[in-house]
Amino acid sequence: MSAHNEKPMKLKLHVWRQRSPQQPGEMKEYALDNVDAHMSFLEMMDVLNEQLANNGEEPVAFDHDCREGICGMCSMVINGQPHGGHKGVTTCQLHMRHFSDGDDIYVEPWRAKAFPVLRDLVVDRSSLDRIIQAGGYVSVNTGGTPDANALPIPKTEADQAMDAAACIGCGACVAACKNSSAMLFMSAKVSHLGHLPQGQAERYSRVKAMVQQMDAEGFGNCSNLSQCEAACPKEISSKVIAELNRDFLKGSWRGE
Amino acid sequence: MKLDSKIPSGPLANKWSKHKQESMLVNPANKRKFRVIVVGTGLAGSSAAASLSELGYNVDAFCFQDSPRRAHSIAAQGGINAAKNYQNDGDSVHRLFYDTIKGGDFRAREANVHRLAEVSTSIIDQCTAQGVPFARDYGGLLSNRSFGGAQVSRTFYARGQTGQQLLIGAYQALSRQIYSGNVNMHARHEMLELVVVDGHARGIVTRNLVDGRIEAFAADAVVLATGGYGNVFYLSTNAKGCNVTANIRAFRKGAAFANPCYTQIHPTCIPVSGDYQSKLTLMSESLRNDGRVWVPKKKEDLSKNPASIAEADRDYYLERKYPSYGNLCPRDIASRAAKQVCDEGRGIGPAGRGVYLDFADAISRFGKKVIAERYGNLFDMYATITGEDPYEVPMRIYPAVHYSMGGLWVDYNLMSNLPGLHVIGEANFSDHGANRLGASALMQGLADGYFVLPYTIGHYLATAKQPKVSTEHPEFKKALADAEARLKKLLSLKGKRTPDSFHRELGLLMWNKCGMARNARGLKELLQEIPALRERFWRELVIRGDAASMNVDLEKAGRVADFMEFSELLVRDALDRDESCGGHFREEHQTEEGEAKRNDAEFLHVSAWEYQGEGQAPLRHKEPLNYEEIKLQTRSYK
């Protein structure tokens, strides 16, 4: 059904298909008619999957969950750009009105050594979890914490912490970086906690532990080109990387 | 079945401290001898898994997403309530308790809700210590906003991403415990069976969603933190993966399901735009502070440009019907009123299911800049999704399924009637009665996980005295075989239809006859239509691919099969509860003005349903609600 005045679009999709991490993958072509401009990109993929299933083919596997731009699960490189390259938008919030009748659309998974493909467009991002596990927290147990207003925090500091904490952990920054570096993701956490008094006790040990983990996972070094910032659906500034570098250096001087 | 709520005796305000005093403890050296399974890693699951691990218990945690940080608690926007009284505006534990009971239309347990209000203050302290960046005033202290159903400002928030920040806090606490080795995290695992040994919950069976492996896990206790069942309606504000599988599997093993008919419909969501629609997106309730809700008076105006419709030809129906609350009347009332005008054929937009939320007056009064400061991010989100500019044309909104007040029955210890099976967060039924107030879901999830379960599960473990079991036990073997047989049966079907197509059909049935308004005739029809649809599902379904690899349609099919079963239970409860209360509106029971009419004489109880076997009607038990502290009243918003 198209209840709108726009004419339904015909699209040619080129989608990465890969059965398992061990098997090689390839781009496959699918023709899709009747695409409504008001569909989200993932709803268009739902329609493709329904069409595939009705033709006796296996649907395209892709990660998705909240479909409102906050869970960080969706992860597609669309026409060469993570999340499609629109400012501040995740794949699930990208709508088909940005495409035109007759378009060719290329859909690929995040590509990085630290993100092995599991199937089709689904990659394993547990490496990001392990970076957080290495030190991306304040070490407090439940209970016995002081009153929340016991420690005033300047609004500007709290706001900067929140700017960095807005990261949804999707990994678009890694997919955009020619070195597949996780610097923006990791620095966002370092900046978030580094701007708060609660984060000071472990400030330098945290940076060191997280950087070591990032290296161990096979992410590359920072390219200094800020492609990560351009690709970030939450528009996190690459200045957080400078903050991480400062703390890393300061930590090594202090011998932590 | 015996339903003992185990509410402690004594004055309401002392019950929780008395109960903690009387609970048995497990000494630190013995804690490491116990293993606890936690299913789900939203606010309740993550906070529980982290806290239990910190205490020294071994924890196996599970989520179906690729990371525990993705659980749908993350999408909560508005805030979290706590009785801190930082604003000096007369808030107190008792006032939060009272507002929550009244908001729930007097269908929640007093003792549970009072405890929730008591521990609410500790949650804010805990989260702040973890580094949750709550909004602050210029003096550096925490800021608050007001929410529906309260006359004080007690809602703490982190911009429009409060759920995200609280969940990341709990996720980081959990990550620290994973690093310590005390928590085994199993992401991309879905629970398929609960294992019960000698009447106690002792483990689960899961499917690894990457390679299809079916595995069993044994423990000394099982905690379900598996969220709500809003997706039984297919279209809802829930994430795509939210499902009722864990809860219905537990129900089939003997856990009672309480008040399944209590579902919350949120009035301000972006309406359905076509058959391809996969989910609905919420627009914050705060918009109704400045937006005016209306539809055209005349049907011939429906397709006109709204700006061209004369003031006299508009029906500002909320202002007309509820002059004292106007556009800010409560959620259930605003939702029903929108449905009513659309049923009259005056709904706007595609399919006629929508009403205008118009900011033109506010923009001309305050200017575009002020409105942008107040709601800029919401206006942007609306524009991204609809392609329309709400500064220029009115928003189109419609109610959508949002939250499940019902859930598995639990006692005061958050334990179900099955010993060892604990249920926390949205997955249980305990704190919100028939309607949840805004900013209370986050409060309950974290209260259960950080500050209630860690105490009460210790008492269970100290007193249960069950022998250790391994996955070699025959009950585990049987549960494994059952899970495998079920998958095999799904894969053997040689029909033509996909799981999604059945899910949509079920959702539409439920929404039309068991949604915002329900009546006995429609519910009775559903009790014929759902089994017929279920029968077709088990005949006409087809799943491509196999069980030994990632198979998204197989995952969906299992969840839809469970929704097919659960929907009937929900409808049965809605038919049985022959009164209107909160989010449950039976058309037969309304006042002359069309408001919900409770029947305290007959329905002042929790309905807890017990499974009776395949093809058998479940049995309804009643847990009476005893109000010692509060006097029952009628809610009015005229």
- Please provide the DSSP assignment of B79-138 as one string: -EE----TT-SS--HHHHHHHHHHHTTS-S-HHHHHHHHHHHHHHHHHHHHHT----B-T
- Fold annotation for B493-598: Methane Monooxygenase Hydroxylase; Chain G, domain 1 (1.20.58)
Strand-pair partners of A77: A82, A108
pLDDT at site A1:
34
Sign of CA dihedral B5, B10, B13, B19: negative
Instruction: Report the residue from A89, A119, A126 with minimal CB separation from B550.
Output: A119
| B473 contact partners, CB below 8 Å, separation of at least 6 | B197, B202, B218
Is B496 in contact with A155 (Cβ distance < 8 A)? no
| A164 contact partners, CB below 8 Å, separation of at least 6 | A187, A188, A189, A191, A192, A195, A236, A240
The owner of tokens 């009476």 is: B624
pLDDT at site A142:
98
The owner of tokens 């599902």 is: B537
User: C-alpha dihedral over A8, A12, A16, A17, to 10 degrees?
Assistant: 90
Chain A residues closer than 8 Å to B305 by CB:
none
Q: What is the DSSP string of B414-466?
A: SB-SSTTEEE-GGGB-SSSTTSPPTT-HHHHHHIIIIIIHHHHHHHHHHHH-P
C-alpha–C-alpha distance, residues B467 and B472, integer Å:
14
pLDDT at site B637:
66
pLDDT at site B378:
83
Is A40 in contact with B210 (Cβ distance < 8 A)? no
Mark the ranges of chain B whose per-residue pLDDT is less than 50.
none
Is B133 in contact with A158 (Cβ distance < 8 A)? yes
**Which of B154, B249, B292, B331 is an active site residue?**
B331
The owner of tokens 């001309």 is: B364
CATH homologous superfamily for the domain A9-119 = Beta-grasp domain (3.10.20.30)
Q: Evaluate whether the domain defined by B45-187+221-262+405-464 bears CATH number 3.30.390.30.
A: no
Give domain limits for chain B.
45-187+221-262+405-464, 266-401, 493-598
Is A139 in contact with B176 (Cβ distance < 8 A)? yes
DSSP state of B231: G
Q: Give me the half-sphere count of Cα atoms (radius 13 Å) on the Cβ side of residue B365.
A: 8
Is A154 in contact with B140 (Cβ distance < 8 A)? yes
User: What are the start-end ranges of the H helices in chain A?
Assistant: 41-54, 126-133, 155-165, 172-176, 183-194, 203-217, 227-231, 239-253
C-alpha–C-alpha distance, residues B148 and B143, integer Å:
17
For A124-134, b/e burial (b = at least 16 CB within 10 A) is: bbbbbbbbbbb
Secondary structure of residue B179 in the 3-state scheme = helix
Chain pair A-B, CB pairs under 8 angstroms: 228
By C-alpha distance, which of B229, B205, B167, B172 is closest to B62? B205
Residue pair B232/B507 in contact by the 8 Å Cβ criterion: yes
Instruction: Report the residue from A43, A125, A155 with minimal CB separation from B136.
Output: A155
Instruction: Report the residue from B128, B137, B172 with minimal CB separation from A137.
Output: B172
The shortest C-alpha distance from B98 to chain A (Å) reads 24
Cβ of B368: how many Cβ atoms within 10 Å? 13
User: What are the start-end ranges of the H helices in B253-322?
Assistant: 317-321
Interface test with B, best of A22, A142, A168 (most B CBs within 10 A): A142
**Amino acid at site B39:** V
Sign of CA dihedral B588, B591, B594, B595: negative
Secondary structure of residue B67 in the 3-state scheme = coil
Residue pair A109/A117 in contact by the 8 Å Cβ criterion: yes
Domain A126-253: give its CATH architecture. Orthogonal Bundle (1.10)
Strand-pair partners of B541: B497
C-alpha–C-alpha distance, residues A135 and A190, integer Å:
9
| A108 contact partners, CB below 8 Å, separation of at least 6 | A16, A27, A76, A77, A121
Instruction: Report the residue from B175, B210, B496 with minimal CB separation from A129.
Output: B175
Structure token pair of residue A74:
């969706």
C-alpha–C-alpha distance, residues B293 and B297, integer Å:
13
Residue pair B354/B343 in contact by the 8 Å Cβ criterion: no
Q: Give me the half-sphere count of Cα atoms (radius 13 Å) on the Cβ side of residue B243.
A: 26
Q: How far is CA A212 from CA A62, A176, A240, in A?
A: 30, 22, 18
C-alpha–C-alpha distance, residues B259 and B241, integer Å:
23
Chain A residues closer than 8 Å to B239 by CB:
65-67, 71
Structure token pair of residue B402:
């949002």
Query: φ, ψ for residue B547 (rounded to 5)?
Result: -90, -10
Is B274 in contact with A3 (Cβ distance < 8 A)? yes
pLDDT at site A2:
37
The owner of tokens 């506010």 is: B362
User: What are the start-end ranges of the H helices in B465-551?
Assistant: 474-492, 499-514, 520-540
- What's CA B356's distance to the chain center, in Å? 27
Query: φ, ψ for residue B58 (rounded to 5)?
Result: -85, 135
CA-nearest residue of chain B to A132?
A: B175
DSSP state of B234: S
CA-nearest residue of chain B to A72?
A: B70
Looking only at the bridges linking them, the beta strands covering B35-39 and B58-62 are: parallel
Secondary structure of residue B525 in the 3-state scheme = helix
Secondary structure of residue B22 in the 3-state scheme = helix
Q: In what order do the strands lie in the sheet with B407-408?
A: B407-408, B257-258, B605-610, B619-624
- B631, with CB counted inside 10 A (0-12, 13-18, 19+), is exposed
Chain B residues closer than 8 Å to A92 by CB:
none
Statement: residue A4 has pLDDT above 70: no
- Fold annotation for B266-401: Flavocytochrome C3; Chain A, domain 1 (3.90.700)
C-alpha–C-alpha distance, residues A215 and A39, integer Å:
40
For B35-44, b/e burial (b = at least 16 CB within 10 A) is: bbbbbbbbbb
B227: left (phi over 0), alpha (psi -120 to 50) or beta: left
**Amino acid at site B324:** S
- Assess whether B331 carries a catalytic annotation: yes
Give domain limits for chain A.
9-119, 126-253
Residue pair B160/B286 in contact by the 8 Å Cβ criterion: no
ipTM comes to 0.97
Chain B residues closer than 8 Å to A66 by CB:
70, 72, 74-75, 239-240
